[in-house]
Amino acid sequence: MRFFISANIKENRPLYYLVLAFLILLLLYWLSSWFFFYSKYGFIYTSVFKYFFGDPSFPERISLSQLSEDMHIETFLKAFYVLLLFSLFLLSSFSERWKVSLIIISALFGLTEIASDLFILYVSPFFIYIKLTSFFLFQVSSGIALFLTLIFFLFMGEDKASGTSNIKLVLFLFSLFLLLFTFVNFLVFSSKMGFTFESVKSYYLGNPQIFAKPKTFEGMFKVFHPHLLSMAFYSLAVAHLLLFINSKGRFWLGLSLFILSFLDNLAGFLVRFVHPELAILKMLTFLLLQAVLLYTSLLLLLHSRT
């Protein structure tokens, strides 16, 4: 990822065309985000209300388990969208005020859109308006940055490395997404399994008293498979950024992200198919992973402010 903060991309023609292809795919992702949001929530208050609280005739609140899972995915996607898009946007020759404004607006409204889900469910449906407004402002501001970046790379002069302060701004905002991601991970684990050995066992092995069926290999593998790639990508990005800060043990911190994320992903199979008492391994690897995620996120956050 180092080329995202390096100048002279246009002088390296193969890299230049790869970056253009990447930006075109980002544009397709941005366009599809409108359709995805509309198909899931709709663009009006009543349709979003129905998603969270059900039809007024048959009210049924969305579960925290489903809500936290949605937030988990959305935080991951937005974090890397912001990091990669704005790292390239910083190379453009547009005014620094434009760049800083769009970066801050996009990131803050992206965070607000995700966090608003909890406020809608547990504070007031009024926050539906916050979610809708945040979505539109995030899409518009990030879309402007994306179009400007494409215009720059297609039609304008040579790219240049941005100032250190702006690079640290992107790192700071990315770190906020990482902190939110860690918090959401706890919500997912708590709402699905709980933080006791018995609740973890029941989640994987089933429990007739609560009408919970044992997890199937196929169902578990559908979670295991995409997490292998997504957590490897996450670990690589964070470990790569750690190498640029002055911190003892940064290599081992980065390496631990790969090891713990894999063990956390694997531990569910061990509980289900090897021995129930390995629930302790599942809880231990999860808690250690979240501790490292929190610590590395704070390290990056603090480094971005120095």
Contact status, residue 116 vs residue 131, Cβ threshold 8 Å: yes
Verify that 138 and 272 share a domain, yes or no.
Answer: no
Q: What is the mean pLDDT of the chain?
A: 88
Q: Could you tell me if residue 264 is inside a domain?
A: yes
d(CA 147, CA 306): 31
Verify that 107 and 9 share a domain, yes or no.
Answer: yes
pLDDT for the residue numbered 159:
60
Encoded tokens for 90? 């910083």
Verify that 107 and 27 share a domain, yes or no.
Answer: yes
- How many beta carbons lie within 10 A of that of residue 90, not counting itself? 25
pLDDT at 2 over 60: no
Q: Could you tell me if residue 177 is inside a domain?
A: no
Mean pLDDT of 199-219: 84
Verify that 216 and 153 share a domain, yes or no.
Answer: no
Verify that 132 and 245 share a domain, yes or no.
Answer: no
Q: Could you tell me if residue 176 is inside a domain?
A: no
pLDDT single digits (tens) 76-92 = 999 999 999 998 898 88
HSE-up (13 A, CA, CB side) for residue 243: 10
- Which residue type does 199 have? S
pLDDT for the residue numbered 1:
46
Q: Could you tell me if residue 46 is inside a domain?
A: yes
* pLDDT band with cut points at 50, 70 and 90 for residue 163: low
Mean pLDDT of 226-236: 89
pLDDT for the residue numbered 96:
84
Q: Could you tell me if residue 185 is inside a domain?
A: no
Verify that 202 and 156 share a domain, yes or no.
Answer: no
Nearest C-alpha neighbor of 116 from the set 170, 67, 69: 67
Q: Could you tell me if residue 167 is inside a domain?
A: no
Contact status, residue 74 vs residue 36, Cβ threshold 8 Å: no
HSE-up (13 A, CA, CB side) for residue 28: 6
Residue 261: domain span: 193-306
* pLDDT band with cut points at 50, 70 and 90 for residue 242: confident
Verify that 204 and 67 share a domain, yes or no.
Answer: no
Please report the DSSP string for 246-289 in residue order: --TTHHHHHHHHHHHHHHHHHHHHHHHHT-GGGHHHHHHHHHHH
- Which residue type does 24 have? I
Verify that 203 and 270 share a domain, yes or no.
Answer: yes
Mean pLDDT of 94-121: 93
* pLDDT band with cut points at 50, 70 and 90 for residue 208: confident
pTM: 0.89
Q: Could you tell me if residue 248 is inside a domain?
A: yes
Verify that 121 and 231 share a domain, yes or no.
Answer: no
pLDDT single digits (tens) 251-287 = 888 889 999 999 999 999 999 999 989 999 999 999 9
Q: Could you tell me if residue 115 is inside a domain?
A: yes
Mean pLDDT of 158-174: 76
> Considering its fold, how many domains does the chain have in total?
2
Verify that 150 and 247 share a domain, yes or no.
Answer: no
d(CA 93, CA 4): 15
pLDDT single digits (tens) 15-40 = 788 888 999 999 999 999 999 999 99
pLDDT at 4 over 70: no
Verify that 139 and 200 share a domain, yes or no.
Answer: no
Mean pLDDT of 139-145: 96
